[in-house]
Amino acid sequence: MKAVVTVVGKDKVGIIARVSTLFCENNINILDISQTIMQDMFTMIMLVELEKESVKKINEELAAVADEMGLSIHLQNQKLFNSMHRI
């Protein structure tokens, strides 16, 4: 399944490395990525492809990374994300 991952928090070294390493370790393919820094706030949106069965495990691991690095990280099914943001 495809999912949208959003990452927001105070900019610091290693955010992209930490998140992309987690994805690599779990065989999750990053299809697209956009990131920017607005003043001292880091923002990133990723489109990833993963096995539907692994969503719970990945959400738990992303929550641990978010706590560790002081970030807000959310993973949503792409179809749900698109429905929520349709104008």
What are the pLDDT digits (tens) for 31-71?
A: 999 999 999 999 999 999 999 999 999 999 999 999 999 99
pLDDT given for residue 43 in this prediction: 97
Instruction: Please report the sign of the dihedral spanned by the C-alpha atoms of residue 67, residue 14, residue 44, residue 56.
Output: negative
What is the C-alpha separation between 41 and 54, in angstroms, rounded? Answer: 29
Set out the domains of the chain in order of their start, with CATH numbers: 2-84 (3.30.70.260)
- This prediction's pTM: 0.88
Q: Distance between CA atoms of 79 and 43, rounded to whole angstroms? A: 21
Q: Which amino acid is at 71?
A: L
